[in-house]
Amino acid sequence: MIELGLYQENNPIFKSFNFLEISSKLKEKYSYINDITVYTTSGKAIGKSGEDGKSLLVADENRPIFNKAVHDKIVQKVKRTIHGDPVTYRYVPYIVQFETDVAKHTDQRIIEIVYNEKDLKNKLKQNNQIFLLQLFATIACALMISYIITRLVARPMYLASHDLLTGLSNRAVFENSLMSSVEKNKKKGRKTGLLHIDLDNFKKINDTLGHEAGDYFLKEVGRRIRSVVNDPNDITARLGGDEFVIILNHVMDENAASNVALQIIQELKRPIEIKGADVVKEYNITASIGIALAPDHAQDSDELYNCADQALYHAKRTGKNTFSVYNKA
């Protein structure tokens, strides 16, 4: 449209995209803009006329700055006054090139923007303050939403996979983890160890001291079991009541699994005080543990659990407070 030249006000193209109208709207929208004019490289305004009816020309005092913008093709600016008010003339060169393979001198244009720089800086400062307030409000909202998501979503998700009392994994996680461990280790030629733990004489605490005392005891047992299992790849879970399990993902042999079982038995022999009494000693609370390994004793997760369960009851039948490794005999 600019390439068409002067006096195109009645041309359909000019009406469809009237930069003079756009300039007027910008001046109305931004109070610090005095005027916007497009010039050819000769200094003639496009679409604007002077008082003599001819094309408006660049002001003589600004001609050196204008020529420098044309020659160097770099934005230039100069400070002047209009009716006693300080203004800045900014000359912005640009190219209107339709035939990219042919460069023409007439392809170049210069936009003259006259504005009050002081008002502009004040407006930018005000906008920065508004931006900072909006940014602060956005961050505050984001934190609030994160908190709400944590409360409404994260907690239920945690409860769906953890035992509410002890914080260990629950039965559903245990079953999925055991199946996954057996399958992965089988492919890699490694062993999966399973320890099935049951507390001996635990019922005496509930019957004598109440379920609140029993819950406290189970929480402490869960904490001690977790403290023995140091490998983050291993799984500790509570199946319910006084039944616990441990999945050893990187166990080497029966001796390694037995060492873990022995540590747990020793940990649970230490005193646990409830209502001023050591209930471990007073009620003779101990732990019996059954151990089974895949693929040594079983080929899948269900079979491995059954083997560990049988080993557990063998430990109970042989006196409790001990562990037993599965043996088919």
Structure tokens at 302: 């269900």
Burial of 322 per CB tally in 10 Å (0-12, 13-18, 19+): middle
For residue 14, give the amino acid letter.
Answer: F
Which residues have C-beta within 8 Å of that of residue 326, sequence separation ≥ 6? 290, 291, 292, 293, 297, 307, 308, 310, 311
Length of the chain (residues):
329
Q: Which residue in the block uniquely carries the two structure tokens 């060492």?
A: 259
Going by C-alpha positions, the residue among 120, 119, 112 that lies closest to residue 58 is 112
- The residues annotated with a catalytic role in the active site are 242
Say if CB 244 and CB 238 are below 8 A apart. Answer: yes
In the chain, helix, strand, coil percent, each to 5?
50, 25, 25
DSSP 113-140: EEE-HHHHHHHHHHHHHHHHHHHHHHHH
The three-state (H, E, C) secondary structure of 233-247, written as one string: CCEEEEEECCEEEEE
Within 13 Å and on the Cβ side, how many CA atoms surround 47? 22
Residue recorded with tokens 């022995």: 262
